[in-house]
Structure 1
Amino acid sequence: MKSRGVRRLLLRTLFLAATIFVGTASAASAAPGTQPQGSQDLLAKVVVIGVPGLRWSDVEASPELTALVDQSHVGSITVKTAGPHTCPIDGWLTINAGTRAWGSVPDQGCGELPGVVDGKIQGWQTYVDRQAEHHTGAPLGRLAESRDRICGFGPGAAVALARTDGTVANWTESLDPALLASNACGDAIIDAGPMPLREGREEASKKVADLVAQARAADGWVLLVGVAEETANAHQELLVAMQLPPDNGPRWLTSDSTRRPGLIQLTDVTATILRGEAKEIDPAGAEQPGPLDGNEIHFTGPVHTDAAAVIENRLVTNERFEHPHPVLGWLAITLLVMQLAALGWFLITRSRRARNTSVFTLLTQGGFFITVFLTTVTQWWRWPSPGLSLYFVSLAISAGFAGLAWAVLKEYAYLGILGAAYVILLVDGVLGTPLQFGSMFTDGPVIGGRFYGFGNSTFAVLAVAALVMAGWAAQKVLDRSRAQAALVVLAIGGLAIIVDGKPGWGTDFGGIIALTPAVLLMAWLTWRGGITWKALLGIGAAGVLAVSAVAFLDYLRPADQRSHFGTFVARLLDGDVNDVLIRKLQMSLDFFDSVAGWAMLIGVLLAMAATVWPDKVPSESYRRFYASKPMVRPTLLALSTCGLIGMVLNDAGVVLPAIMAGFALPLLVAHLLSVGPDQQPATVSSESHLVQES
């Protein structure tokens, strides 16, 4: 009876956490501060002027473009498409489909746009086949098939307005102002041509400003955007986005797909032209309602009246997203060299000073996993030499965390670092993830991986922190009651699940798929000490049910308010999920194209094996630690479970558990080194196998 009552209590706690999770999901539609203050969907005409390669440095150098800033809602646009780089053909095809498309050939230059012969795009079938080959799921022809009386001017506009069979209507090779202003054009797309690579950018800027003036004369409103990179190997910085005339004063452009003031993405252009009238085109030509990758563009934030300050803001923003990834590589090398040097010194001398140095370097790496987020608070991108500033600030904060944790907690310094990571990421998630934007662990808007919420790397850090802190807290009450200890695990782990997965907070669909069963497994092992096959299957089913409920409730919200959860359900119900799953699988398998990917896999599998078979690990310190406290085993098994599920079901593949190991292992080794063999508790008898027969 007692066992049945405790089981009922655990189930009630689980259902209470799920109720809180799914209930709050329906209230979150956008990050704080990015709610729309206005939109232009009632205007009769939308004129999009696309300029491949138009940068904010061009606006700064051009008096004509600078003069437009205070007459516009402004921002930047990310032009990430389905391929490895965004040539003009990729950008125009993406506008055509309303989802990220793939038009160029990898490892080749961008080349010229296809011509129009007898009213049809040359080689159109090649682009259709390319979407199938790369599983983009991009329905080419959607824009033209979904919108009547839309006109096009220029080669890029022809690609954007091609129908499913490649035919183009209402198109001319160059701008016709009279046609643009006529009733024949309900909306229009103008290709202003790419910005020259070197000479001639000044003349091209004047041409763009002149096109804007002619388009404004046609009434409605004008959206001036960069649509692509002009070369295959160019750095993909944020390009220009302006919308004229401004409504209620010039402000910052945004959309619900980015939820960031001053930032839109290329697929938002299609969503804005269609204004909620999108149709998905199937191969048979039948029209069915289908999801777009973008959302309508609107404006937000305070009025800006200083063109120079706006341009400087945009240029500084580019600095913010240019440096994190290269600096991350240098920091990883630096920390690795420090650890190897310190460890080598200790192995040779076995001195106390060498031991302490090695512990400090390991704790510094642990502190680095918090630093990658906290550096955004320093606004290093505004400092002189932003790249160097980020490098030295990161090392200083990492070392500071290590030193403070060691000074206060001694051999339990790892708890201080993990506790700080847990609290900081939970607070950041509730605030709408401001620390993630432009941090070293996010792909950033240029790559287009994550505009809001927790990415894979952030989730990996949160998962380690949550599971270890849950294990430590449960250990404190385990002697009093196993049931209470299990509830502690559910409370600490469940809070991480809620913040990680809740739309508008972490919005991490893949994360809760991995973390939920890991927390449930850890709670069960804490309560029962072992697990049966029946219980293991039940835990898996409960995890799937909880995640499915959240995703379905998110799907019930309006389409423009859904997060990744609801969008996935929409694609699943529309039968459009196969390409998504195949792309994600390919992304996870791509890591094995290099030696580093296989090395990560071997390292991860060895680390997981050590949590299941500790007696096989050739380290007396680890074996004693494993058996020293009852909660060590459930905690390590939960970490392995989370990493394994994340590796199998997440597009990050082996990278996700590798990041988890990169955070957890140095802290574990630091603890073992700081305690030393003489201070470790005596070994107690090991528990039985992970899965026991009923």
Structure 2
Amino acid sequence: MLRRVTPVLLTLVVVVLAVVALTARPESDTPQRSADFVVVAGVAGLRWDDVDPQTTPTLWRMASQGSIGSLSVRSAHRPTCPVDGWLTLGAGGFAAWPGNRPVGSCPPVEIEVEQPDGIGANLPNQESVVLHNQEQLPWGTVPGALSESVRCSVAVGPGAAAAAARPFGRVDRYAPVLPADPAPLLGSCVLSIVDLGTVVGTEKATRAAAARAADAQLARVLAARPPRSLVLVAGVSDTEAPTRLHVAVADGPGWERGWLTSPTTGREGYLQLVDLAPTALTALGRPLPERPFLGRPAESLPGRPTDLAAAIAAPANADQEAAAQARVAGWFFTLLAGAQVLLALAVLPMLRRARRHAGPYGPEPVSGRIVAVTELLLVAAALAVPAALLASLVPWWRGEHAGVWFALTAVGLVVGGTALVRLAPGYPSTLGPLGAVAGLTTLTVGVDVFTGARLQLNGVAGYSALEGGRYAGLGTVGLGVFIAGALLAGGWLAQRVHRSWRPTVMVLVGGVAVVVVGSPYLGADSIGAIALTAGVSVAAAISAGGWLTVSRLAWATMAGLAVTIGFAVLDVRRPAAEQGSLGRFLSAVGDGTGGLTVHRSSTANLETLAGSPLTVLALAGALLVWFALLQPWGGLMRLFGIYPAIRAAMAGTAVAAVLGGVLGGAALDVAGAAAALVVPMAALASLRVLDHSTDRTLPDPAKLRDGGPAGDDPDGPTAPDGDGPTAPDGDGPTAPDGDGPDGPAAPDGRAGGGGASAGGAGGRGAGSGGPAVRSSTEVTTR
């Protein structure tokens, strides 16, 4: 009865932990109306390093009084050219101007504006722009949705006209330039959009001149602003590749001296260009359109430094770090993938020769020094991603040669971590390096998440604010290595306890990991938490030994479905502004726009699959495991037979990593990050198991003195290194030569017994070709 009830109880524990973690949300106030008028002043290309008291005195005073933030100008095209930025501003979603353009550049685009009546204007190309965004782009964005949500709007300048034009092309009030007295025009409608110009170029003098001209125009706007108005200044776009973070300033009642923050970023001081439209409507007290914006209303959070220079330094540094991260991340993961592939090729012949032969003939064993160096290289390869994450503790992005400084920092951290693992007390044992590396990785990512995920934001092994995908919590790479580290650490701990307690250990460790991943306070990744729940359930089901039977798979599937359904029911009941990704998707399905979400996810999966170095890591790791490690000579099946909890951890990692990547639109990136940790450790452990495949199982001296058989212990006789149980409990390999996998499942769900199992580095293990251990007085020797 206990054996039948245990899977049910463990499943319930995982489900409850996951649902509680996912549904707990920080309390947030609903944004209220704060202004009678809103003026949005846009400057294409304006960055925080263009702002200072001498060049832009008006903007400097405005920033000192109001709230500031770093603006991500993501649109439907990259880089976001000025016309794309203006369209995205007016649409409240990712939009783009139709037509082909050279990759990485922003050619000039003439926005045709007609003024038939001298009051408003008309954009004759607006219909084709709307059709292009609705039918050819995956976002389903409606250009002009912001203007459609108010009775009347004003546009000044051609860029502002592109933002303020309604879907049929009409601009309610239009002026090509600011009139001599802008007050009557700005006061004629509740919403005004003003094009202050463009800051372009790389030379400081050129940019300073353009910023000074825009600042002079801004001074005229502020002097003529209507009473009780909110003025938003935004660097609405890039002007060339690569993309950068831009200026965002809000000045008005309720926006004094704070950090601009949006629910779409969840990060203090960050917001997106798509957030400006809902922010303007919410400040005016107007309802959002029925077809919701992709952005959310921004708010002002306290805590900004009193000194404006110190406050501006934060977004300026973030822009500099994000730009350096974009340059460095690509070659880092490319080099990591190449290094791990080369290391895998070097390990293959060592696996072939690692197993000792009992007879006088056989291949010459590999030198012990070569094996020791290879093991250290495998540890270093597994620690590369955590080291890249920790590198953000050092401001490597400052200076001309950011890539060199990052490389030096990362290599130093890898060397330090490898030395720490090498000097750990359990390093000589078979699972010692695996447990140490998994523990270090889990600790590194976990501490970062608990302290605000500051190392992941704009970090090489994290995510970039320039990409517009994630700004807080766990990123794709962080999720992959955390899943692998947590489950391997759980498997290492579970292997050290009695087999009946192993599922409990896996559930406890995995449950904590689910909370860390899914909690909005921590990892904020509901899709990752659902995927990890399925992985933990699989790992707990087979951690005590035996195969993944239909009943065990059914319990694991039920746990994942229960978490998904439970969270979905609660999430979809929330207000639209508070829903998570799953709730928004279900709401989209309800209003008939769910197909766009599926299309976006599948498109993102295909793009990531084709262009990410992590795909190479995932595929190379899978090939190494399948065609080498899982072969009779590869050692991994032998490792799984002796250490079923490790097999469970690796199986759960594979399930969680693949599900998390595919459901999250990251293809194999999560699996690739997990493989960067799991595959080197699997190869190292396999080498050690094969090296001791001819060792003999030793009886327990204490039980010999007591006169009892060595097999009395529920886990069988243990080796001097204490790595885990041997074959008498059914966990060991079945074949007489010790190479086979677990035996067929017994009626109690355990693996069938076979020959004596192989030992760890301490000297225990099955005899290759020898008879099984029968009693405490019959010990096979060679």
**TM-score by shorter chain over 0.5:** yes
User: Which whole-Å CA distance do the structure 2 matches of 1:213 and 1:351 have between them?
Assistant: 76
Give the structure 1 partner of residue 111 of structure 2.
Answer: 114
TM-score (norm: length of structure 1): 0.87
Alpha-carbon offset, residue 577 of structure 1: 2.1
Specify the alignment match of 2:563 in structure 1: 546
Which residue of 2 is the match for residue 2 of structure 1? 2
TM-score norm. by structure 2 comes to 0.78
The residue that corresponds to 2:236 in the other structure is 227
1:374-389 aligned at under 5 Å gives the runs 374-381=390-397, 385-389=401-405
Report the more deviating stretch, 422-431 or 390-399: 422-431
The whole-number CA distance in structure 2 between the counterparts of 1:310 and 1:647 is: 37
1:563-602 residue pairs with structure 2 within 5 A?
Answer: 563-591=580-608, 593=610, 599=616, 602=619
For residue 135 of structure 1, give the secondary structure of its aligned residue in structure 2: coil
Displacement of 1:676 after TM fit? 5.8
Give the whole-Å Cα distance in 2 for the aligned partners of 1:178 and 1:620: 78
Residue 642 of structure 1 deviates from its aligned partner by 2.2
Give the superposition deviation at 1:261: 2.8
2:440 maps to what in 1?
420
Q: Distance in 2 between matches of 1:598 and 1:434?
A: 26
- Residue type matched to 1:174 in 2? V
> Which residue in 2 is equivalent to 1:159?
162
Indicate yes or no: 2:710 matched with 1:655. no
Q: Which of the two has greater helix per residue?
A: 1
Pair 1:544–1:107, CA change in 2 (3 A): farther
Q: Which moved more, 1:419-428 or 1:529-538?
A: 529-538
Instruction: Describe the superposition over 1:460-504 as per-residue Cα deviations: whole angstroms up to 9, x where unpaired.
Output: 11111122122222222243x2xx321221111111112111223
- Counting only pairs closer than 5 Å after superposition, residues 379-458 of structure 1 correspond to structure 2 as 379-381=395-397, 385-408=401-424, 409-411=426-428, 412-458=432-478
Deviations 1:571-611 (A, max 9, x none): 3333322112111111211245469687556435435646x
Task: Please give the alpha-carbon distance, in whole angstroms, between the structure 1 residues aligned to 2:464 and 2:483.
Answer: 21
> What residue number does 1:326 align with?
327
Alignment partner, residue 187 of structure 1: 191
Looking at structure 2, the residues matched to 588 and 165 of structure 1 have their Cα atoms a distance apart, in angstroms, of 34
Query: Counterpart amino acid of 1:567?
Result: R
State the Cα RMSD in Å.
Answer: 3.4
- The residue number in structure 1 matching 2:659 is 645
Give the aligned residue type for 1:184. Answer: S
For the Cα contact (< 8 Å) 1:507–1:563, is it kept in 2? no
Q: 2:55 is matched with which residue: 38, 49, 62?
A: 62
- Percent of residue pairs bearing the same amino acid type: 26
Tell me what 1:262 maps to.
269
Decide whether the 8 Å contact of 1:88 with 1:113 is kept in 2: no
- Does residue 100 of structure 2 align to residue 94 of structure 1? no
Q: CA deviation at 1:27?
A: 3.4
- Is 153-162 or 509-518 further displaced after alignment? 509-518
Q: Distance in 2 between matches of 1:528 and 1:623?
A: 13
Counterpart selection for 1:498 from 500, 503, 515: 515
Q: Structure 1 residue 156: deviation in Å?
A: 1.5
Cα deviation for residue 644 of structure 1 reads 3.3
Alignment of 1:338-357 (within 5 A): 340=342, 350-357=366-373
- Given candidates 147, 153, 162, the residue that maps to 2:150 is 147
Find the aligned partners of 2:335 and 2:543 in 1 and give their Cα distance. Answer: 39
Equivalent residue runs for 1:206-245 within 5 Å: 206-217=212-223, 218-219=225-226, 220-231=229-240, 234-244=241-251
Structure 1, unmatched stretches of 5+, are: 281-287
Q: Tell me, in whole angstroms, the C-alpha distance in 2 between the residues paired with 1:582 and 1:342.
A: 36
Instruction: For 2:281 and 2:478, locate their aligned partners in 1 and report how far apart those are by CA, in whole Å.
Output: 35
Provide the C-alpha distance between the structure 1 equivalents of 2:236 and 2:272, rounded to a whole number of angstroms: 10
State how far apart, in whole Å, the 2-side matches of 1:76 and 1:306 are: 14
Deviation digits for residues 323-359 of structure 1 (CA, Å, limit 9, x no counterpart): 2243334444665677748985996994333322222
Q: 2:260 aligns with which of 253, 261, 278?
A: 253
CA–CA distance in 2 between the matches of 1:433 and 1:680? 47
Match of 1:46 in 2: 38
2:295 alignment partner, one of 277, 293, 296: 293
Cα deviation for residue 228 of structure 1 reads: 0.7
| Partner amino acid, structure 2, of 1:406 | R
Q: Aligned partners of 1:513 and 1:170: how far apart in 2?
A: 50
What amino acid is aligned across from residue 376 of structure 1 in structure 2? S
Structure 2 SS opposite 1:253: strand
Counterpart of 1:625, as a letter, is: L
Q: State the alpha-carbon separation in 1 of the partners of residues 207 and 534 from structure 2.
A: 56
Aligned-partner SS, 2:423: helix
- Measured after TM superposition, the shift of residue 565 of structure 1 is 3.8
Q: CA deviation at 1:15?
A: 4.3
Task: Describe how 1:612-623 pairs up with structure 2 within 5 A.
Answer: 617=631, 619-623=633-637
Give the letter for the 2:73 counterpart: V
Match of 2:139 among 132, 136, 140: 136
Shift of 1:292: 3.7
Which digits, 9 at most, give the CA deviation of each residue in 1:4-55, with x for residues without a partner?
Answer: 3324432442344245325xx333257xxxx99xx78412122111111112
> Retained in 2: the 8 A contact 1:261–1:300?
no
| Counterparts of 2:78 and 2:164, CA distance in 1 | 23
Q: 1:690 to 1:302 in 2, by over 3 A?
A: farther
Alignment correspondent of 2:13: 13
Specify whether residues 175 and 511 from structure 1 end up closer, same or farther in structure 2 by C-alpha distance, changes over 3 A only: same
Deviations 1:43-81 (A, max 9, x none): 212211111111223224715354554344222211011
Q: CA deviation at 1:546?
A: 0.7
Residues 442/336 of structure 1: CA separation in 2 closer, same or farther (3 Å cut): closer
Which range is displaced more, 86-95 or 310-319? 310-319
Q: Measured at CA, do residues 496 and 212 of structure 1 come closer, stay the same or move farther in structure 2, by a change above 3 Å? A: same
1:187–1:659 Cα change, 3 Å: same
Paired residue secondary structure (2:665): coil
Cα 1:513–1:210 shift into 2, 3 Å: same
Q: 1:443 to 1:200 in 2, by over 3 A?
A: same
The answer to whether structure 1 residue 365 and structure 2 residue 368 are counterparts is no
Are the aligned partners of 1:432 and 1:505 in contact in 2 as well (CA < 8 Å)?
yes
Contact 1:151 1:180 in 2 (8 A): no
Residues 14 and 559 in structure 2, CA contact (< 8 A), matched pair in contact too: no
Aligned position for 1:285? none
> What is aligned with 2:715?
none
- Distance in 2 (CA, whole Å) between partners of 1:200 and 1:382 is 23
Q: Is the 8 A contact 1:464 1:639 kept in 2?
A: yes
Question: Is the 8 Å Cα contact of residues 319 and 381 (structure 1) preserved in structure 2?
Answer: yes
CA distance in structure 2 between the partners assigned to 1:505 and 1:18 by the alignment: 13
Deviations 1:160-213 (A, max 9, x none): 112222222122222234455664221211011222436753442222112222
Aligned to 1:630: 644
- Distance in 1 (CA, whole Å) between partners of 2:671 and 2:368 is 33
The yes-or-no answer on 1:488 pairing with 2:508 is: no
Offset at residue 669 of structure 1 (A):
2.0
**Aligned with 1:164: secondary structure?**
coil
Q: What's the CA shift for 1:658?
A: 1.9
Q: Does the 8 A contact of 2:231 with 2:252 survive in 1?
A: yes
Flag structure 2 segments of 5+ consecutive residues without an equivalent.
351-363, 697-731, 735-740, 750-782
C-alpha distance in 1 between matches for 2:519 and 2:745: 31
Contact 1:215 1:222 in 2 (8 A): no
Contact 2:68 2:269 in 1 (8 A): yes
Worse overlay, 632-641 or 86-95 = 632-641
Letter in 2 for 1:392: L
Q: Kindly tell me: are residues 246 and 240 of structure 1, through their superposed partners in 2, closer, same or farther at Cα, counting changes over 3 Å?
A: farther
1:518 alignment partner AA: G
Residue matched to 1:283: none
Q: Deviation of residue 650 (structure 1)? A: 3.2
Q: Which has the larger radius of gyration?
A: 2
**Equivalent residue number for residue 709 of structure 2:** none
Shift of 1:98: 0.9
Distance 2:211 2:330 in 1: 36
Aligned pair count reads 669
Cα distance in 1 for partners of 2:72, 2:612 equals 31
Counterparts of 1:515 and 1:318, CA distance in 2: 33
Greater alpha carbon shift after TM alignment, 426-435 vs 210-219 = 426-435
Cα distance in 1 for partners of 2:41, 2:303 equals 24
